[in-house]
Structure 1
């Protein structure tokens, strides 16, 4: 199995992530030096990957989706 991209509908949850051959890293990029890297979707993206590949999901463990 090869994961090519991960996206959400509606698209405003996070931007489409395109995966490339080899190792892919997930990290935040600040547009402004005063901004925080908190709340930009890194952990939520990993939750979606976990659900997509392993099928494990509960709202209790994914409180970010209850907002």
Structure 2
């Protein structure tokens, strides 16, 4: 699912283009405020994080990723 509008979508697209060592600098850093529309990824075996903001975290559940 592609979302065309969102507060931090431009930053997320920029992160996909930058080398890994530049990702957390300047405009590509995850903001500390809520994006309002989380899209989740599995961070580790216990936690899921939002692609767009630093505050979006929830406990990992494999059922969240079954589609």
Normalised to the residue count of structure 2, the TM-score between the two structures is 0.25
| Higher CA-based Rg | 1
Q: Which structure has the higher relative contact order (CA within 8 Å, separation 6+)?
A: 2
User: Which structure: greater strand fraction?
Assistant: 2
